[in-house]
Structures are given as structure tokens and as C-alpha cells.
Chain A
């Protein structure tokens, strides 16, 4: 029954075929470069695979049990959490504060925006080297300035007590400008008449206007900025690789640095895969959290 296909159906078929031709290369690459590597990592994560050693033992969930009792790994988790707890809130609050100041400023807006954005476009590894010099215990300008103020010299990167704080200073400096431009976009999108309305309702002080209009209207932006800041901080790698290599005494060993070292330096492919799975599970958890909050709590006005 060759005539049973209506012209409309025939057209749809042509359209679908064209669509597949356009999407097929991408779909194939997705399979090869995303899905298969992920499956490989998942499978390897249950084994004790090491590169160069032919025998592989299947450990099953024991692989994860081992990981969760591994002190180095728990240390890396803790270090990453501390780093995120230092960098994310500071870079979000400072980004918001700067965006509000710049938004209110008429004359120098473009100038200040560019100045604060400069670290975002500066090579991290290079700027980390500059920070290393700035933080040098004896000749570093930071300690020299502190000395002028009568504050004793701090061994920024060399002491396990404050190496994470030192890395966090660099992380905040780097992330600040990015958060600022995101908040600026959010601020410019707020309807000006809302402020006039709030004022008529008795919101006299700047704090009242912030509390009643700016903060609730910025809700979605703040949530996005928070997620991006947390995820970027969890992924800290360049500064650790350049400045501390996880030291001193593993005090700055972070998750991604440890995955890199286990997988590509020690070639413990199985253990590194399990760590990568935990790393992704953590990011997944953060994304789910974001969607939950987005669905439930963020309402305009």
C-alpha cells in the first residue's frame, strides 16, 4: 500500500532523517567520549587496577569502603571542604558588594568593572607564581606591608596551618570579578519602579531597600553564582599544582590533585576511578540541591 503514507507523514520523515544526519556525529562522539569513559571509570572504580600490572581483582563495594577509610583521601575531602568554605562565601559576598557599589556609581562604572574582572582573564598558573612571590616569608611584599603595621611575618604557603587560607586568598582574588559581573547582570535586570514602590511603602533606609527589593529579586542570580562558585572551588587544581603540590605534609592536598596523582603519577587507576566517582557524586549532589532550591524557594518579590 504505497499510498498509505500521507504527504504530512512523508514530510515528517524527511525532517527526522535530516535531523539525525545533523545530530548523529555529536551523538556518536557523546557515546565515545562521554558515555564509554564514564562506564569505564565506573567499572574500574570497583577494582584494584594498576597500569602495567596485568592482574586485576574485582573488589566490588570494598573498593569504596577502602576509600572511605583511607586517611589521605579523607584528608583531601576535608581540605577541599575547608577551601570551598573559605572561597565560596567570601567571593560571593564580595562580588555582590562590589556589584552594588559599581551599579550605583555612574562615572567610573566601566573602569572599575574592568579592573575587578582582570584576574578572571589572567593565566592562573602565572598569577599563582606572582602570589608566591607576594607571599614569600622574608622578601614578600605582603609580609613587608604587615611588618609596617607591626604584624609579625606569616609563613603563608610553607606552614600546614595556613596553606589552605593562603590558597583561598588567591582563589577569592581570582573568582571575585566573575561573581561581580554575574551580580551586575542580575542588578540591572531589576525593575527600577520596585524601589520607588518600596519607598512609598515606607522603606526609607538603604538597608530596607536592599532587604525588601534587591535581595529577593536577586534570588535566582545568587543561587547560580553560589553553585558556580562552589563547583569551581571544588575543582581547585592549578594553584595546588603550581605552588604546593599538596604540601606541606599533605595539608593542601585537594580532591582533584589527589585524583591526578593517584591516576597519572602512581598509576593506581582503580583507586583514582573510585575517587573520580566520589568527586562526581559530590557535584551531582550540589546540582540536585540547586534544582531543589530553585524549584521551592526562589520566588520573585
Chain B
């Protein structure tokens, strides 16, 4: 009895959460006349797939915009990890005065929030915190063995630490991609050419080009533009949920 009630509540909630996705898909298939008249019916009586999705791909350079998003997110993640990992290793495992500086550096996490308002890209203090915590748990013997094998400290970072800190690195990568894939603030300030737009800005350009209430085409564009990250999530659900949990709780 309790279980039935629980499933009923969970299912009702699921329907509410999925409501926007259902109408996004359904409306993307409907001709404009039906969007304005058909009420709540989800299945169109006339299909306008080619028309709506055609507009989604031709009004803005959709493929190029999605590619821009991938390139921007991948570069940011790579940049952040390349700078954060060696510093985090030094702070976690090596003795030097930098550790004393680091103790005073908690405030820089906050500077991060301010900095992203005034400089287009910056390093992630959060990544340093997260990696440092993770690297501390890696056994010293592993590093000593690598050192006696003649590996340089830089080689230790990339050949010993990175593989061992992989859960933290992938968790951070997912956290960073979700954040930057969504970011509109800097693209809105810095980019005026459609060719250079990231997905969120690209959608704003589409809305501007689509002055009227052509909801069918707009929904087709939203389907196309939300799909890459959703597919990525559906194929790597555990990675996503564990990654967001780890970064969320440490943040």
C-alpha cells in the first residue's frame, strides 16, 4: 500500500518534470496553425517535421554553433585541468612555502565568482581544492616508487597522479561542461557574430531572427540544441550523477 502511494507520487512528479520536454517535442512537430489551435493534444494531425527542423538548421548555422559549444567547453576543461592538477599535486604532496600561501587562499574561491564577471575566462580555484583533496589520499609509496624509477615531478603528475585522480578529474570535467555549456553571460558580452555563437547565444539569435510566434520552429531548435548534453547524460548516467554529487558536496 505504501509502495503504491510512493510510486503514484513519484510518477506524478515525473510527469510534471517531463511536461516541458513532452510539449517541446510535440510542438516541434506541429505546423504553426495547429500550435495556435490544437489545445493540449500532443500528437499533431498534420506533421511539420521537415518545415520546423529545416528552419532550425537553416535560420542559424546550427551545426557550427553546436561545434562551437563543444570546442569552447573542451578547451575550458583542458585549460582548467592542465593548470590545476600540477598545482594541486604540489600542494598535496610536496613541502614548500606555497602551502602557507594556500592556507590563505580560501578567499580566492570567492574571487573566482567575481573574476568571471569581469574577465572572459579564468582558472578554477575549485578544481585545485577538489584535486588537492583527492591527491592527498593517493599513497606516498606510489610517488616514491615513481621517483626512484627516475620520473621527474612533472612526469609524476601526468603519468601517476592523473590516472589515479581520474574520478576527481572526470567529476570536475562534467561539472565544468554543464556550467559552461549553459553559460550565457560572457557569450552575450563578447560575441556578436552568429558564426561564433555558443549554443545558448545561438538560440537567442534564432529567437531574434524568428521575430514572430513561430513556436514550432523554435521548439525544433530547442530540441536540437538540448539534445547533445542530454544524450551524453543518458549514455553516461552514473558518471554524471556521481560527478555532480562529488563536485556538489565539495563545492
Question: Of B40, B181, B226, which one neighbours A145 at CB under 8 angstroms?
Answer: B40
A22-30, A49-57, A79-87: which lies at the interface = A22-30
In the complex, per-residue mask of B94-125: 1 if CB is within 8 Å of any chain A CB, else 0: 11111001000000101111110111011101
> With A and B bound together, what is the CA distance between A181 and B240 in angstroms?
10
Contact, CB under 8 Å: B87 / A23: yes
Contact B203 A26 (CB under 8 A): no
Q: Is A139 an interface residue (CB 8 A)?
A: yes
Nearest CB to that of A170 among chain B residues?
Answer: B20
Quick check: A118 and B18 within 8 Å, CB to CB? yes
Min CB–CB distance B38 → chain A (angstroms): 9
A260 CA to B185 CA, complexed, in Å: 8
Q: Is the CB of B17 within 8 A of A176?
A: yes
Q: How far is the CB of A47 from chain B (nearest CB, A)?
A: 15
A15 to B95, CA, bound (A): 7
Whether B29 sits at the interface, judged by CB under 8 Å, is no
Instruction: Enumerate chain A residues within 8 angstroms of B225, measured Cβ to Cβ.
Output: 123, 126
Residues from chain B with Cβ under 8 Å of A35 in the complex: 108, 111
B115-147 interface (Cβ within 8 A of A) = 115, 117-119, 121-123, 125, 128
Q: Which residues of B contact A27 (CB under 8 A)?
A: 87, 98, 101
The answer to whether B94 touches A19, judged by C-beta atoms less than 8 angstroms apart, is yes
Cβ-defined contact, A20 with B96, below 8 A: yes
Contacting pair B204 A133 (CB below 8 A): no
B229-A40 in contact (CB<8A): no
- The reply to whether B230 and A173 form a contact with Cβ atoms under 8 Å apart is no
A131 to chain B, nearest CB (A): 6
Tell me if A120 and B178 are in contact (CB < 8 A): yes
Chain B binder among A67-75, A191-199, A234-242, A292-300: A234-242
A23-B91, A41-B118 are known contacts. Are A115 and B14 too (CB-CB below 8 A)? yes
Task: Give the Cβ gap from B105 to chain A, nearest Cβ, in Å.
Answer: 8
Residues of A within 8 A of B91 (CB): 23
- Give the interface SS of chain B, mostly helix, strand, loop or mixed: helix
Interface: A34 (CB within 8 A)? yes
Does B89 lie within 8 Å of A276, measured CB to CB?
A: no
Cβ of A61 within 8 Å of any chain B Cβ, yes or no, is: no
A29 engages B90 (CB within 8 Å) = no
Q: Quick check: is A144 within 8 A (CB to CB) of the other chain?
A: yes
Q: Does B71 contact A (CB under 8 A)?
A: no
Given contacts A20-B96, A117-B240, A264-B189, A124 and B111 within 8 Å (CB-CB)? no
Contact: B10 with A108, CB < 8 Å?
Answer: yes
- Select from chain A the residue with minimum beta-carbon distance to B181: A123
Stretch of A98-106, A153-161, A211-219, A246-254 contacting B (4+ beta carbons < 8 Å): A98-106
Is there contact, CB below 8 Å, between A22 and B90? Answer: yes
- Name B219's contact: one of A33, A133, A284 (CB within 8 Å): A133
Q: Which one of B7, B23, B111, B182 contacts A108 once the chains associate, using CB atoms below 8 Å?
A: B7
We find that the number of chain A residues with CB closer than 8 angstroms to chain B is 82
Q: Would you call A190 an interface residue if the criterion is a C-beta within 8 Å of the partner chain's C-beta atoms?
A: no
Interface string of B225-238 (1 = CB under 8 A from A): 11001101110010
| Count of chain B residues with a beta carbon within 8 Å of a chain A beta carbon | 82
**B91: shortest Cβ distance to chain A, in Å?**
7
**Distance in angstroms between the alpha carbons of A25 and B82 in the assembled complex:** 10
B47 within 8 A of A: no
> Is there contact, CB below 8 Å, between B115 and A34?
yes
Q: Which A residues touch B230, using CB under 8 A? A: 118, 121-122
A130 at the interface (CB under 8 A from B): yes
Bound CA span A193–B13, Å:
31
Q: A121-B233, A224-B248, A276-B114 are in contact. Are A22 and B108 (CB under 8 A)?
A: no
* A166 interface residue per 8 A CB criterion: no
Complex-state Cα separation, A271 to B242, whole angstroms: 41
Q: Are B87 and A16 in contact (CB under 8 A)?
A: no
A51 to B237 CA separation, bound complex (whole angstroms): 46
**A37 interfacial contact with B, CB 8 Å:** yes
Q: A30-B123, A125-B184, A264-B189 are in contact. Are A37 and B118 (CB under 8 A)?
A: yes
* Distance from B145 Cβ to chain A, minimum over Cβ atoms (Å): 16
Give the docked Cα–Cα distance between A189 and B221 (Å). Answer: 41
In the bound assembly, the distance between CA atoms of A12 and B99 in angstroms comes to 14
Contacts A38-B111, A41-B114 known; A123 to B229 CB distance under 8 Å?
Answer: yes
CB of B188 within 8 Å of the partner chain? yes
B→A interface (CB under 8 Å):
3, 6-7, 9-10, 13-14, 17-21, 23-24, 27, 35-36, 39-40, 83-84, 86-87, 89-91, 94-98, 101, 108, 110-115, 117-119, 121-123, 125, 128, 153-154, 157, 178, 181-182, 184-185, 188-189, 199-200, 203-204, 207, 215, 218-219, 221-222, 225-226, 229-230, 232-234, 237, 240-241, 244-245, 248-249, 251
14 contacts between A and B (CB under 8 A): A22-B87, A26-B84, A37-B118, A114-B234, A116-B14, A117-B240, A121-B233, A124-B184, A124-B200, A125-B199, A126-B226, A127-B20, A129-B219, A287-B110
